[in-house]
Structure 1
Amino acid sequence: MPEASLAGIAAAAALEQAWPLPLPEDVRRVAGWPIVAAGVAVIAGSLKTAGTTELASPGRLVTGGPYARTRNPMYVGWGLLQLGIGVIAGSGWVLVSLPFVGALVHREVLREEQRLEERFGDEYLEYSEKVGRWLPRR
């Protein structure tokens, strides 16, 4: 759901123009690009692992690479990109928009999980018990 992240970036940019909410320069300089790089790395690893699998309607359950640590690495990557771009732009509004975007994405993920459970049954249930939805489990 990169559309939600892109909408969050656009909304934050518009709000920044109307009511600036700048981030400190040292935060922008130190944090922005590493966060973007992490997002790109997670997304690239997810795409590489998924290979030719159609993620919208998978023929197999992808459980390796980043999918072995989080069930939703693409969404995690897009969230990191949104955060990093906002930090680079110096917009505090990106921090305000993240929970709203996160709620939209979470709602879609719950729907996707239901479809995966219907399609893959016990295989998906076992996977979801081992791998966290957003963050790795210990």
Structure 2
Amino acid sequence: MNVMEGYGLWIFAAANAALFIAFAYSFARPLNARDWRSFGAFSAFIVALFAEMYGFPLTIYLLSGWLQARWPGVNWFSHDAGHLPEMMLGLGLNPHFGPFHLLSTALIIAGFWLVAAAWPVLFRAVRAGRLATTGPYARLRHPQYAGFILIMTGFLFQWPTLVTLLMYPVLVAMYVRLAIREDREAAARFGKEYATWRAQVPGWFPHLSRPVAGATPSR
């Protein structure tokens, strides 16, 4: 077995996880117990990710026999080999500049932007006791949840692990359930105003070719 290079850096793993969690918190400050649950689940995903990225490569260790048999020219216990899609594709590029890493970066940036843009709109609406329908909420009913899903998807393209792959569908299902519950509560509280907004604004996938809320309702 090759000596593991770039692992065992637990302080670095903890520091990176704390940095990303703090960064996410600065954009998505939880307003209630439900928000804290969703943010806590996202934080667990980040901790699991960086624990393997810089601590111990559990996924590589468990799959090392299969990986070595399929791609014998790769040092699977080097740090760069943790970028599994790039290594399996075999383009011979620096994995930090490969297609999966670039896609990952784009998704993560888009996710953080969406969360950052949505939170102040939601915060002002909650304080005023009204429905959030401007900014990202003019195109998506659940932009913050969509943003967290984009971030997690981006990290999976960059550094997939068995743990985060198992967590991902569970977290997505949790965000979908939370969104359904919020839709019901908003419908009960805001009635016709919410019904009109819902008819115009999709929950997860924006109609990019359609003007913002206020245009012709969707079918």
Name the TM-score class by shorter chain.
0.7 to 0.9
Length-normalised TM-score, structure 1: 0.79
Identify if the C-alpha distance between structure 1 residues 104 and 15 changes in structure 2 by more than 3 Å, giving closer, same or farther.
Answer: farther
Residue 42 of structure 1 contacts residue 66 of structure 1 at CA under 8 Å; is this kept in 2?
A: yes
Verify the 8 A CA contact 1:31 1:87 in the aligned structure 2.
yes
Residue matched to 1:23 = 85
Report the Cα distance in structure 1 between the residues aligned to 2:156 and 2:196, rounded to whole angstroms: 37
Provide the C-alpha distance between the structure 1 equivalents of 2:117 and 2:186, rounded to a whole number of angstroms: 21
Of 41-50 and 79-88, more deviation after overlay is shown by 79-88
**Structure 2: runs of 5 or more not aligned:** 1-37, 64-83, 87-94, 211-219
Cα–Cα, structure 1 residues 19 and 51, in superposed 2: closer, same or farther, change >3 Å? closer
2:122 counterpart (50, 54, 60): 50
2:109 to 32, 37, 41: 37
Contact 2:110 2:147 in 1 (8 A): yes
1:6 maps to which of 27, 34, 43: 43
Q: Which amino acid aligns with 1:8?
A: F
Query: Is the counterpart of residue 110 in structure 1 residue 192 in structure 2?
Result: no
Q: Distance in 2 between matches of 1:85 and 1:72?
A: 20
Q: How well do the aligned residues superpose, as a CA RMSD in angstroms?
A: 2.6
Q: Provide Cα deviations, 1:16-52, integer angstroms capped at 9, x if missing partner.
A: 8332372223244312221111011111110232343
Aligned to 1:91: 160
Q: Which runs of 5+ in 1 are unaligned?
A: none
Amino-acid identity (%): 29
Q: Is 1:69 the counterpart of 2:139 in the alignment?
A: yes
What SS does the aligned partner of 1:61 have? coil
Q: Secondary structure at the match of 2:203?
A: coil
| Cα deviation, residue 95, structure 1 | 4.9
* Pair 135,60 (structure 1): closer, same or farther in 2 beyond 3 Å: same
Runs of 4+ in 1 over 6 A off after TM superposition: none
Structure with the greater relative contact order (CA < 8 A, sep ≥ 6): 1 or 2? 1
Distance in 2, matches of 1:11 and 1:120, equals 39
What one-letter code is carried by the residue in structure 2 that aligns with 1:120? F
